[in-house]
Amino acid sequence: MLLRRSTLFVSGLLALGLAISGCAAPGPTAAGGEAFNDPLEDTNRAIFGVNQVIDRNVLLPAAKTYRTVLIPPMRQAFHDFMQNLNAPVVFANDVLQGQFGLAANTLGRVLINTSMGMGGMFDFATQFGIPYHSNDLGITLATWGFDEGPYLVLPVLGPSNPRDLIGQVGDGFADPGDYVAAAHHRLWASVARALYQDLEQWVVAGTAPPDSQVPKLSDATLVRPSLLNFPAIPGVALDPRFTSRTLIELPFPARLETIDALITAYLDEVRRPASAVFVLDLSGSMNGDRLDQLKTAMRALTGTDPSLTGQFARFRAHEQVTIVTFSSQVDETQEFTIDDTNPAGPELTAIRSYIDGLAASGGTAIYDGLEQAYQVVANSQATDPNRLFSIVLMTDGENNAGVDAKVFASDFAGLAPAVHAVHTYPVLFGEANKDAMTSIATMTGGALFDATTTSLQTIFKQIRGYQ
């Protein structure tokens, strides 16, 4: 059988030669003493230079022609067709990774789009609630524990590594298009598909990126500029505030730990510190499982949730956390400031200890709790107005004590503009009144979150995205 891509044949020989030689010198060392994973830097830079010439003189002009000749609906149809043609590769890797739910989705997509979508030219499956997902043998090998190996720059295809290169070649054996091309001695068909995938990254590029910016990034990272017209979510156009459609690939290693470190550094060191006020219902109806759910959700925000979402939803450095508890009246207002983000540190430990000691009894004075929260915000703004303020209201019932909704609305209207601008995010829980909670969200500019169909812990993590 012919190899799927002629460029992969060249790249494969290169990688094989490098592997056989086994004598690549170690790469340069970072300031911290960690060796860069690029022992083949000289070779990579040479191939990168060739790729730049091909991009500028072949792919970019071809992309402009492609954009000019084909109107957007035709380009989208061709894109969907090529995506559907690759479904057997995605399906095979879904199965190999044990992702049987995703495999079922992939199978459903190809059946729907091949039959109803005229061979895949129309993506009806997405409209039916089965979105596309990509997968390949490189990801499968990573799932099985294979190391990625040294950094490689492949002819035409660009940045890669030996694991992904092997995956690309292996995927060719699951691709029906290559079998058809080989059976009819049409190597050019496989090559054309490979070039299309690279070409698609350049489509809708009106001009090359500014010379003052891209060469510096490209030379430093060995990553080619990527000019995209396909939005992150198909069918959703870029915000008009994006005055340029020139998007540059990430100028740092595409590793999970790198992304985690960047996000953590932003949240803990760069982002404006937050001030989050949690208004928590401790009425008698919260006794038992409901109170346990509340404690679990709050404890998770102190760093006890080891999941990826839990890591980023936890309380951040310099954040002020205020817990206002209420039953028949406001019971207590407890404030914490996070200096040590270690889950075992004193501040987060203190929050957990406080949460563990909560007990439920009495009635439900929702609006008393809210008024206390806005008073906390007013006091905090007076001393530190640059914080990002937000209020979370969690209740499992209707207001039956303290001030009513009309009094709260009147008092809220009289708040100082900066305090009035702080949003409240009500959480619908238990038998809480949806209309009342919706009214609070609308009045304060917040949003309603429904914990009647999912866990309170999940809802609290979602709300953290607004804080």
Spell out the domain ranges in the chain: 6-251, 261-464
As a whole number, mean pLDDT of residues 167-191 equals: 64
Find residue 158's DSSP bridge partners: 154
Q: Is the pLDDT of residue 64 over 60?
A: yes
CA within 13 Å, CB half, 418: 14
Distances (CA, A) of 268 to 63, 341, 377: 42, 9, 21
Helix, strand or coil for residue 348? helix
Strand 320-326, strand 274-281: pairing: parallel
Q: What are phi and psi of 390, to 5 degrees?
A: -155, 155
Joined tokens for residue 231? 């939005």
> Which fold, 261-464?
Rossmann fold (3.40.50)
Other beta carbons less than 10 A from residue 153's beta carbon? 25
| H or E element at residue 425 | strand 424-428
Q: Is the pLDDT of residue 216 over 60?
A: no
Each residue of 128-160: pLDDT tens digit?
Answer: 889 888 898 988 998 898 888 888 888 877 788
Joined tokens for residue 351? 């929050």
Rg (CA), the chain: 28
Spell out the residues 6+ positions from residue 68 whose beta carbon is closer than 8 angstroms to its own: none
Closest by CA to 369, choosing from 327, 311, 312, is 327
Contact yes or no for 366/395 (Cβ under 8 A): yes
Mean pLDDT (the chain, rounded): 79
Contact yes or no for 75/203 (Cβ under 8 A): yes
Contact yes or no for 380/275 (Cβ under 8 A): yes
The string over 171-189, giving b where at least 16 C-beta atoms fall within 10 Å of a residue's C-beta and e elsewhere, is bbebbebbeebbeeeebeb
pTM above 0.85, yes or no: no
Each residue of 380-429: pLDDT tens digit?
Answer: 999 999 899 999 999 999 999 999 999 999 999 999 999 999 999 999 99
Q: Is the pLDDT of residue 79 over 50?
A: yes
Helices (H), 225-288: 256-265
As a whole number, mean pLDDT of residues 182-191 equals: 52
- pLDDT band for 39, please (50, 70, 90 cuts): confident
Contact yes or no for 135/127 (Cβ under 8 A): no
Contact yes or no for 309/461 (Cβ under 8 A): yes
Q: What is the secondary structure of 356-394 as a DSSP string?
A: HT----S---HHHHHHHHHHHHHHHHHH-TTSEEEEEEE
CA distance linking residue 389 with residue 264, whole number of Å: 20
Strand 152-154, strand 158-160: pairing: antiparallel
As a whole number, mean pLDDT of residues 181-201 equals: 54
Each residue of 25-36: pLDDT tens digit?
Answer: 444 444 333 445
- pLDDT band for 448, please (50, 70, 90 cuts): very high
Q: What are phi and psi of 367, to 5 degrees?
A: -75, -25
- Least confident residue range of 62-71, 175-184, 257-266: 175-184
Q: What is the pLDDT of residue 275?
A: 94
